[in-house]
Amino acid sequence: MILAAASTSSTKALWYLTRATGLVSLVLLTLVMVLGVVQIQRWTPTRWPRFVTAALHRNASLLAVVFLTVHVVTSVADGYAPISIVSAVIPFTSSYRPLWLGLGAVALDLVVALIVTSLLRQRIGHGAWRTLHWLAYACWPIAFVHGLGAGSDGRVGWVQVVDLVCLGAVLAALAWRLASNWQVDPTRRAVGALSSAAVVVLVLGWAATGPTQAGWARKAGTPSALLGSSAAGSGGSATISRPGATSARGGLGVPFRAGLDGTLSQSGAGRDTVVTIDAVLREGASGRLEIVLEGTALDDGGLELRQGALTVGPPGAPRQWSGELTGLAGAQITARVHDAGGTNATATVELQIDPASSRVSGVVDVR
């Protein structure tokens, strides 16, 4: 049984675009990291001269900036998570997964610093620029951990493969860098190798027990209003108490308040889960109410909602009032609805759910 627990007016396109650009950004940053090591080692493939490698490194960096910008813009524009442009730039100021989103802001700030210093390279001098350019090496691991902690695809198989390939590529480049001229400074390189290995073990251990496990959304710091509320124990009902239904004036002219009884059904799976509530109005008005919720099923019994719609009306016009969901906390749903004449109203629905029978009851108030 799934009880939706998030509200958003964002479209599927924004949601998919945010996730896709984040993953592509990681791949491009990995390429930039590896090519950076290649340039430092002054290794040149036999099939093309060194300037080709430099051009590829530069173009990959620019492309990474483009995808990173789209990732940030779509994350802010998508209404599911309360991410502001300030939170995207100033680390650890967001109420949504503050630590993991904050790391993303740190990575973004590092990229911006690299861009600015590269543009001012002639003014600040090559030495200062080169020193600041070492920030690129800190950007990749921060972005990698951000993706694991803030993303919603930690348990998706092919995404895990992409993450492991990126990690393997960076580790191979790092190993090559440390192994080159090992005899020059063996102590420092040994410390670097052991430190890197320890960090990798810690990150992989954390990933195996955190982002790839059920319930990570709650542990990551997702606000409770955006989390799925688990149904009550077997045979019980949800813990939301239903106010007493009151009579409303005849018909469905606003304002009206009515009780409801109906069923909850679920279709699809994973990221394409659809939860439908179909109910009959009683004790105040006659008619039907339908709520459709679309999102990603969570292992802890919730749903990350991408979009939702509500319709309510009398028997002869069950869609008299219709609109998109604007808020949901626990089992209380709100929507901004309108009728054919252009009259706007706010619908509030409070639900009780019986997990054993998939029956729902509650109250709808439109005013």
pLDDT in tens for each of the 367 residues of the chain? Answer: 344 444 333 455 777 788 899 999 999 999 988 888 777 656 556 566 665 667 787 888 889 999 999 999 998 887 666 788 999 999 999 888 899 999 999 999 998 888 888 888 888 887 787 777 777 788 999 999 999 998 877 778 888 999 999 999 999 988 888 888 777 788 888 888 898 899 999 999 999 988 888 678 778 887 655 554 333 333 333 332 233 333 333 348 888 888 899 998 888 887 788 889 999 998 778 899 999 988 787 766 667 777 889 999 988 888 899 999 987 666 788 899 988 878 889 999 988 888 778 888 889 989 8
Longest dimension (CA), the chain: 90
Residue 28 to residues 67, 86, 203, Cα–Cα distance (Å): 9, 25, 21
Residue 2 lies in a domain: no
Q: Cβ neighbours of residue 364 under 8 Å, at least 6 residues apart?
A: 257, 258, 260, 281, 289, 312, 347, 348, 349
Give CA angle at 241 (238, 243), nearest 5°: 145
Kindly state whether residues 292 and 145 are assigned to the same domain. no
Kindly state whether residues 66 and 200 are assigned to the same domain. yes
Exposed, middle or buried, 349 (CB in 10 Å: 0-12/13-18/19+)? Answer: buried
Residue 98 lies in a domain: yes
Residue where a domain stops, chosen among 192, 221, 250: 221
Kindly state whether residues 212 and 354 are assigned to the same domain. no
Kindly state whether residues 295 and 312 are assigned to the same domain. yes
Residue 5 lies in a domain: no
Query: Could you tell me if 288 and 277 are in contact, meaning their C-beta atoms sit under 8 angstroms apart?
Result: no
Residue 1 lies in a domain: no
Residue 120 lies in a domain: yes
Number of residues written out for the chain: 367
Kindly state whether residues 260 and 120 are assigned to the same domain. no
Can you point out the beta strands (E) in 53-138? none
Kindly state whether residues 204 and 245 are assigned to the same domain. no
Kindly state whether residues 188 and 96 are assigned to the same domain. yes
DSSP state of 243: P
Phi, psi of 323 (to 5 degrees): 175, 180
Q: By C-alpha distance, which of 116, 139, 175, 115 is closest to 26?
A: 139
Exposed, middle or buried, 169 (CB in 10 Å: 0-12/13-18/19+)? Answer: middle
Residue where a domain stops, chosen among 178, 196, 221: 221
Residue 108 lies in a domain: yes
- CA dist 304 and 326 (Å) reads 14
Kindly state whether residues 71 and 112 are assigned to the same domain. yes
Into how many domains does the chain fold? Answer: 2
Strand, helix or coil at 133?
Answer: helix
Residue 355 lies in a domain: yes
Kindly state whether residues 213 and 135 are assigned to the same domain. yes
Kindly state whether residues 190 and 280 are assigned to the same domain. no
Kindly state whether residues 166 and 266 are assigned to the same domain. no
Kindly state whether residues 115 and 209 are assigned to the same domain. yes
Residue 6 lies in a domain: no
Query: Could you tell me if 57 and 71 are in contact, meaning their C-beta atoms sit under 8 angstroms apart?
Result: no
Half-sphere exposure of 132 (CA within 13 A, CB side): 19
Query: Could you tell me if 275 and 5 are in contact, meaning their C-beta atoms sit under 8 angstroms apart?
Result: no
Domain that holds residue 297: 225-366
Residue where a domain stops, chosen among 206, 221, 236: 221
